[in-house]
A = this chain, B = another copy of it.
Amino acid sequence: MKRNVIVGQSGGPTAAINSSLAGVYRTAIDRGAKKVYGMIHGVQGLLNEHYLDLSKYIQSDLDVELLKRTPAAFLGSCRYKLPEIHENKEVYEKLFAILDKLDIEAFIYIGGNDSMDTIKKLSDYAILTGHNTRFIGCPKTIDNDLALTDHTPGYGSAAKYIGTSMKEIIRDSFCLEYPKGLVTIVEIMGRNAGWLTGAAALSKAEDCDGPDLIYLPEVTFNLDDFKDKVKKLLEKKSSVVVAVSEGIRSADGKYVCEHGSNVDFVDAFGHKQLSGTASFLANYIAGELGAKTRAIELSTLQRAGSHLASRVDILEAYQVGGAAVKAADEGDSGQMVVLQRISDDPYQCQTAVKNVHKIANDEKCVPKNWICKNGTYVSDDFVNYVTPLIQGDLSPVMVDGIPRHLCIPKELYKK
């Protein structure tokens, strides 16, 4: 590389997004980039010329290792959607002027579907105007819903957290007996794709039965049918544990949590902010069956749980960051790095790049044949797919009993 690199993080944070940042930084330096800039709060920050020189904050090998182990977005993130090019050229002109001023050769954006929309639009604009900056996307999302890649960095660590926590919850749920049984509903992220919720099945092993029911958002949810299934299970066992996606919907298309009294909130991309599915179902079952119920939301914990990250996931995230820089250096633009699985056992995976136009704004759901026929569990194929992605640990660097992270002074998040 002869000029500079700029990198940003976008969308929901994960336990692996900073490992990709570390991979981008290291590879850019190794390939001769003069400076590696970081956008603060992604493109939204960059539009306000809000960026930093990463070498000031990543100064040693230990810093790189800490960064790999730090959850959430080191640089801050955003949920900013670029306007269509024909709707608002000024935004693009402003952004490209900043890129020129910083002498940017490669623009790397780490994010999910919506972030790939940003890469698509910027690379299109560069083609339209003959601009020579290259734009490469780096996949990241715990949701694992990006097309054309076997899986996304961030997913493996979240899946490991979910499988482990689910097992600990199941173990806990057998301790105390209640006259009419105990029903535990565990709510897991994933609005439209059930990859995370399905990972609850990872808790199943010789020493654990796994959850009794798993409801993915890919399957229409029927409240009566749910009640009947729980009732039948309670006849056989004193504790029933159910994994539900936050995004399960009834036949009328309404989110199950909307049957409750929760206030909705719609984000800049028009996505509804969901919460309360588990507590709605727990109250419903308590009322209908008289069982003691518990609602558990894995919430932010499942995406920020770096202390339980998957080694495979963190190392792949790093590798994908490096591959993004390499692709830009070799002349690619408008591409996203993908992971291609070569084999399950022994697990082998390589990187490649794919046209971002085929990825942006698309959502990859769990295939129908990986969902059991009655729609309340995932198949062995699903489990065999996920298992390699949760292998290995990356021990946190513990200081005084608590994991140490790498971070920028928080004043820098504000412009």
Residues of A within 8 A of B (CB): 9, 12-13, 41, 44, 70-73, 76-79, 160, 163-165, 167-169, 171-177, 184, 202-203, 205, 207-209, 237-238, 261, 263, 265, 275-276, 279, 283, 286, 292, 294-301, 303-308, 310, 387, 390-393, 398-407, 410, 413-414
Contacts and interface: CB of A to CB of B under 8 A. Distances in A.
Given A76-B176, A163-B401, 4 more contacts: A73-B175, A77-B175, A168-B403, A208-B407
Given A72-B171, A172-B300, A308-B307, A263 B238 contact: no
A403 B263 contact: no
Given A72-B174, A176-B77, A304 B402 contact: no
Contacts of A413: 174, 177, 238
A227 to B, nearest CB: 18
B387 A400 contact: yes
Contacts of A299: 294, 296-297
Contacts of A286: 263
Contacts of A402: 160, 163-164, 167, 202-203, 205, 390
Nearest to A171: B72
B300 A205 contact: no
A307 to B, nearest CB: 5
Contacts of A13: 171-172, 175-176
Which of A78, A276, A308, A406 has the largest number of chain B CB atoms within 10 A?
A308
Contacts of A168: 71-72, 300-301, 304-307, 403
Nearest to A293: B265
30 contacts: A13-B175, A41-B177, A70-B171, A71-B172, A73-B175, A78-B177, A164-B307, A165-B305, A168-B305, A168-B306, A171-B304, A171-B405, A171-B407, A172-B304, A202-B400, A205-B399, A205-B400, A209-B410, A237-B410, A238-B414, A261-B261, A263-B286, A265-B292, A279-B279, A296-B297, A301-B301, A390-B400, A390-B401, A391-B401, A393-B398
Nearest to A390: B401
Contacts of A304: 168-169, 171-172
A152 to B, nearest CB: 17
A20 to B, nearest CB: 14
Given A172-B71, A294-B300, A405 B167 contact: yes
Given A294-B300, A301-B169, A387-B401, A76 B163 contact: no
A392 B401 CA distance: 6
A263 B301 CA distance: 26
Nearest to A406: B207
A167 B283 contact: no
A120 B276 CA distance: 43
Contacts of A283: 263
A401 B72 contact: no
Contacts of A9: 175
Nearest to A287: B263
A164 to B, nearest CB: 5
The 9 A-B pairs at the shortest CB distance, nearest first, are namely: A390-B401, A168-B304, A72-B171, A172-B304, A77-B175, A73-B175, A72-B172, A13-B175, A391-B401
Which of A78, A172, A286 has the largest number of chain B CB atoms within 10 A?
A172
Contacts of A295: 275
Contacts of A207: 404-407
